[in-house]
Amino acid sequence: MEEREISKAVVKRLPLYYRYLGDLLEQKVERISSNELSHQMKVTASQIRQDLNNFGGFGQQGYGYNVKYLYNEIGKILGLDKTYNMIIIGAGNLGQALANYVKFEKRGFRIIGIFDVNPRLSGVAVRGIPILMTDTLPQFLEENSIHIAALTLPKNGAEEVAPVLVEHGVKAIWNFAHTDLNLPDHIVVESVHLSESLMQLSYNLNCANKNEEE
Amino acid sequence: MEEREISKAVVKRLPLYYRYLGDLLEQKVERISSNELSHQMKVTASQIRQDLNNFGGFGQQGYGYNVKYLYNEIGKILGLDKTYNMIIIGAGNLGQALANYVKFEKRGFRIIGIFDVNPRLSGVAVRGIPILMTDTLPQFLEENSIHIAALTLPKNGAEEVAPVLVEHGVKAIWNFAHTDLNLPDHIVVESVHLSESLMQLSYNLNCANKNEEE
């Protein structure tokens, strides 16, 4: 089970490799050297070789990488050869944006329900996916095997609903709420904090301006 | 100009400090020790002291931190004491979600225009912000000083519009498109790649499952 020792930085780069290889596939590129991939991705060639060696290599010395093979193998490492049932809690703009994103579906993330507390949204569907009322969530979780829940609702609601999800067997949470959820260690939480991303941008913008003024 | 030497990891934690301190302020907490903050944030106390020492400290030995003062100081470091004019390119669900997020406005990020190529959206407004047609963007940029552009449109559109933004003086791009933009070094690019975040989640979910099965 070598994967357990993989560093977070490598895990962060894997989707990036997957994206670049997918672009190359679209351009009908069959083989690529680590140097060429390095040039495109702006990551050093030795970094690429080192990253991929974590999973057994994939390259033949002097022949480069077979794009399709590497793309598929990285997909498997990322778990994209499986299908996941996903629900979205919070049917605001962001929740609806995720529900409308067909690419997730193609990658195996099947969104099968959207939940909200707003009775006016009851019966409405987004891309054919029904918006259900949050009070029916426990029953829904009993009747359906849900792997991933995306939380696109305000902080307080997210903190309330997360333990309910865990209690009913949800193992992974994609958290967009402005809070770090306090959940058992075996629950996978991946957070997207938009405000924090914007603050990093303004920090960097201010540094850049300072440098220019000198 | 000590800020220039600050590591990316510290810059990533600053918005986190800002969020926790903001929560403490809401709870009317006036002082906090680095130990207590450490406990809440799940970051070691020495890490906190080290991070804040990058900016000159802020703590008095034995007295802890003054929450409001530290909150304001970190806000200044993050550039949140200034106002930024921001536009959003792409008025789909995600673009509209950002436009509706009033918290950004409160932090000084004023969204003054949303752009889209879809003529059906012409004249529509989101939270009072007009959706304008993308072909009017160059003129808009001439007439308004825009600091930040959020790109919430597909890859090809993003790659096309980014150089136009740069050419007209936009210094920072908040990129949600599924691509790394190829822009001059002095342009600040902060990317939010949702698909990649979801792939990291599925990677971790698969690792967690494997560990459980053993």
Q: ipTM of the predicted structure? A: 0.92
Using an 8 Å CB-CB cutoff, list chain B residues near A42: 180
* pLDDT exceeds cutoff 80 at A148: yes
What is the β-pairing status of strands B148-151 and B129-133?
A: unpaired
* pLDDT exceeds cutoff 90 at A7: no
Question: Global pTM?
Answer: 0.91
Of the CA atoms within 13 Å of residue A123, those in its CB half-sphere come to 2
**What phi and psi, each to the nearest 5 degrees, are found at residue A88?**
-120, 125
Query: Rounded to an integer, what distance in angstroms lies between the CA atom of residue A26 and that of residue A44?
Result: 23
Supply the pLDDT for residue B103.
Answer: 87
Supply the pLDDT for residue A4.
Answer: 47
* pLDDT exceeds cutoff 60 at A214: no
What is the β-pairing status of strands A129-133 and A148-151?
A: unpaired
| Residue among A156, A84, A179, A97 nearest B206 (CA) | A84
- Indicate yes or no: CB of B15 within 8 angstroms of CB of A196: yes
| Residue among B180, B191, B56 nearest A43 (CA) | B180
| SS3 call for A114 | strand
CA nearest to B106 within chain A: A195
- Indicate yes or no: CB of B188 within 8 angstroms of CB of A204: yes
Nearest by CB to residue B190, choosing from A78, A186, A201, is A201
Rounded to a whole number, what is the distance in angstroms from the first to the last CA of chain B? 52
| SS3 call for B184 | coil
Please name the residues in contact with B134: beta carbons below 8 A apart, sequence gap of 6 or more.
Answer: B89, B115, B116, B117, B161
**What confidence category does residue A212 fall into, taking pLDDT thresholds of 50, 70 and 90?**
low
Supply the pLDDT for residue B1.
Answer: 41
In order of A147, A183, B38, the CA distances from B206 in angstroms are: 11, 18, 30
Domains annotated on chain A, with CATH:
2-77 (1.10.10.10), 84-196 (3.40.50.720)
- Indicate yes or no: CB of A11 within 8 angstroms of CB of B97: no
Mean pLDDT, each 10-residue run in order, chain B (214 residues): 66 92 94 89 87 76 84 94 97 94 91 96 93 97 97 96 97 95 94 95 86 61
* pLDDT exceeds cutoff 70 at A57: no
Query: Rounded to an integer, what distance in angstroms lies between the CA atom of residue B111 and that of residue B98?
Result: 9
**What confidence category does residue A1 fall into, taking pLDDT thresholds of 50, 70 and 90?**
very low
- Indicate yes or no: CB of B188 within 8 angstroms of CB of A197: no
| Residue % of chain A over a pLDDT of 90 | 71
Mean pLDDT value of segment A121-125: 92
| Residue among B120, B49, B67 nearest B91 (CA) | B120
Supply the pLDDT for residue B8.
Answer: 83
Supply the pLDDT for residue B5.
Answer: 65
Taking only the tens place, the pLDDT of each residue in A89-112 is 999 999 999 999 888 999 999 999
Q: Which of A193, A202, A209 to mutate to test the interface with B (most CBs of B within 10 A)?
A: A202
**What confidence category does residue A208 fall into, taking pLDDT thresholds of 50, 70 and 90?**
confident
Taking only the tens place, the pLDDT of each residue in A27-51 is 999 999 888 889 888 889 888 888 8
Mean pLDDT value of segment A171-200: 95
Residue B194 near residue A152 (C-beta atoms within 8 A): no
Kindly tell me the burial class for residue A31, based on how many C-beta atoms sit within 10 Å of its own C-beta (0-12, 13-18, 19 or more): middle
Using an 8 Å CB-CB cutoff, list chain B residues near A209: 171
Angle between helices B45-53 and B34-41 (to 10 degrees): 110
| Residue among A92, A203, A198 nearest B106 (CA) | A198
